[in-house]
Structure 1
Amino acid sequence: MNVFQICNDTSDAIEFFPPQSLYLKPIARLNISVQLPQMKLPGKTISNWEVMEKLKNMTKPEEFIVLKVSKSTLEFIRFEAEIENKSKLPSVIARLDTRTIKLSGFSELLKIRAAEAKIPYPTRHAWNSYFRDARNMNEMKPGERPDTIHINNLPCRWFATKQDKTKGNDIPSEYLFRKVFEVFGEVRCVDIPLADPYRNKMKTHLSGMKTFSFEKDLSFEGYVQFKEYICFVK
């Protein structure tokens, strides 16, 4: 599965690291639930495709860049969706929430609920609680406090040097990786398992590398450890 998405709307992009032409773009994600009618006739089914087409038509002229079923029961279907521009999220939700749709073969109207989705990322309270309550950890020591971030699915080409790109080598540079994240503060160390020629010879639980994937030559994962907690929080 391709982990990259084409970005057509850059109006809400935020400058991140100009030397590498890197920008940050807010995630515009929403959850959509469609209440299903009671199935009175055996063998009668709901078409997820038809429901999705109805939802797409209701949000025009905005388009979903992601629309997929996240949960399906006898009572409802839940979709996870994304649009390109977060500023347009309220209007998209307004077009869907508390509205109804009608499916072919069913007399009942299906009610829709829509709301902005929470991004699945640990909160400041969660990581502070974890390290505070963890045994055998000293918050005064690096690595035993919230100071390290793990990022995956980064495009290799974005972090490759110009010299390597010229040679057709898109291995990410740890130097560039460090420079990019120094915009948040002083970095203690970085690690890119893919850039280590010896890492793939190590056992998986020691190497920090994931098992094979078709995107392994296109994307990478990296670790950044900051010197100060305040840099990590940023």
Structure 2
Amino acid sequence: MTVTVVYDNSEARELCAAQHLYLKPIAKLMINVLLPESTEPMRPFSNWEVLDQLKSLICPDQFTTVRLSKSTKNFIRFEGEAETQSLVQILKAKLHGKIIKLNGLKTDLKVVATDAQGEWEHLPQKQEAPSSDGADELDCNKSPHSIHFQGLPCKWFAPKGSSGEKPCEEILRVVFESFGKIKNVDIPMLDPYREVMTGGSFGGFSFGLQTFEAFIQYQESTDFIKAMESLRGMKLMLKGDDGKALACNIKVTFDTTKHFSEGAIRRRNQEKLKLQELEEERRKEKKREEEEAERNPHSLTHRR
């Protein structure tokens, strides 16, 4: 997940004042440069040569970031990000319908600029109605109103003044209870057995900032929907005591793994119990070896 310095936080809205956390709208622009259909041979030109022309068109304004999204024989597509959504509209007006002229190229290139479509999920139209047949079995495997977060910065959810950078479940709960009462919270990286159980890692790094994933389940569907709606198309922003702000992209999706279902919790507990028993057996075996070594101090020398 990308972490950027925020220079204009005028569109940010408060998420949790106690943690200095805010939500900042993602402001992106899709720019298509249409290539001519001329049959005449053209001199070769690079995508970056085209990008330089686009930057000239919006000057003195600038993109926060810009990347090549797609390049075909018909068009070159760039995705640009700006500080605010209002600036995106200004950039779009500066770019849309404009013509790019490249030295040595007879045919002009046309620019088409549009608001970028978000990749975030859409809420379901209807909530599934419970079935009377096999209700107990269904309830065991359900995990309603749950959200899966990825890319949350550990340091932003760690207790103030703590030497480590481990996130705190209570802080996570306080931050996201701004949308409603939370029933369950789980941060897999805080469970020392979880990585062994799954064979994977529950954290990552983004520009030197360690991140974590988390699962949150709301008590009410209305609060769950409110959270998903509020987080859609948003970055997470931290405002420091010095007034400086950082923002990062986070991934917010429906929990499709049924993480808080009775069945999933039972399986995790069973696997954890097995690991604890194995760990205890290894500890006892090590203790027996140490006691044996103390009773027979010359046994190792004899073996050599």
> Which category of TM-score, normalised to the shorter sequence, fits these structures?
0.7 to 0.9
Residues 142-197 of structure 1 show CA distances to partners (whole Å, capped at 9, x for unaligned) of 97475111222221111000242xx2x01111110011000000111112122222
Which residue identity is paired with 1:78?
R
1:201 paired residue number: 196
1:178 aligns with 2:167: no
**Bigger CA radius of gyration:** 2
Which TM-score applies when normalising by structure 1?
A: 0.83
- Residue 29 (structure 1) aligned with residue 45 (structure 2): no
SS in 1 for 2:177: helix
Give the corresponding residue for 2:63: 64
Number of aligned residue pairs: give it.
Answer: 221
Contact 1:3–1:153 (CA under 8 A) maintained in structure 2? no
Structure 2 counterparts to residues 87-126 of structure 1, below 5 A: 87-124=86-123
Question: What are the residue-to-residue correspondences of 1:141-160 with 2, within 5 Å?
Answer: 141=139, 144=142, 147-160=145-158
Q: Deviations over 1:109-160 (max 9, x none)?
A: 1000011112111112xx346x649x9997x959747511122222111100
- Find runs of 4+ consecutive structure 1 residues off by over 4 angstroms: 135-138, 140-143
Say which SS state the counterpart of residue 178 (structure 2) adopts: helix
> Which structure 2 residue ranges, 5 or more long, are not aligned?
227-304
User: Does 1:218 find its partner at 2:210?
Assistant: yes
Instruction: Call closer, same or farther: CA 1:119–1:143 in 2, change over 3 Å.
Output: farther
Whole-Å separation in 2 of the counterparts to 1:137 and 1:230: 26
1:66-122: CA deviation from partner (whole Å, max 9, x where unpaired): 211111110001111110111222111110111111123311110000111121111
Residues 150 and 105 of structure 1: CA distance in aligned 2, closer, same or farther (over 3 Å): farther
Query: Where does residue 192 of structure 1 map in the other structure?
Result: 187
Whole-Å separation in 1 of the counterparts to 2:223 and 2:105: 55
Q: What SS does structure 2 have at the residue aligned with 1:114?
A: strand
Q: For the Cα contact (< 8 Å) 1:68–1:79, is it kept in 2?
A: yes
Is 2:224 the partner of 1:232? yes
Report sequence identity in percent. Answer: 37
Q: How far apart in 2 are the matches of 1:137 and 1:108?
A: 68
Q: Which amino acid counterpart does residue 225 of structure 1 have in structure 2?
A: Q
Task: Measure the CA separation in 1 of the matches of 2:102 and 2:154.
Answer: 45
Aligned letter for 1:160?
Answer: A
Question: In 1, Cα distance between the equivalents of 2:32 and 2:134?
Answer: 42
Query: Residue 99 and residue 137 in structure 1: after superposition, are their counterparts in 2 closer, same or farther (change >3 A)?
Result: farther
| Secondary structure in 2 matching 1:64 | coil
Structure 2 Cα separation of the partners of residues 49 and 233 of structure 1: 42
Once the two structures are overlaid, the 10-residue window that deviates more, 52-61 or 145-154, is 145-154
Shift of 1:37: 2.4
Greater RCO (Cα-Cα under 8 Å, separation 6 or more) = 2
Q: Could you tell me which runs of 5 or more consecutive residues in structure 1 were left unpaired when the two chains were aligned.
A: none
Instruction: Provide the TM-score with structure 2 as the length reference.
Output: 0.65
Pairing of 1:123-142 with structure 2 (within 5 A): 123-124=122-123, 127-128=124-125, 132=128, 141=139
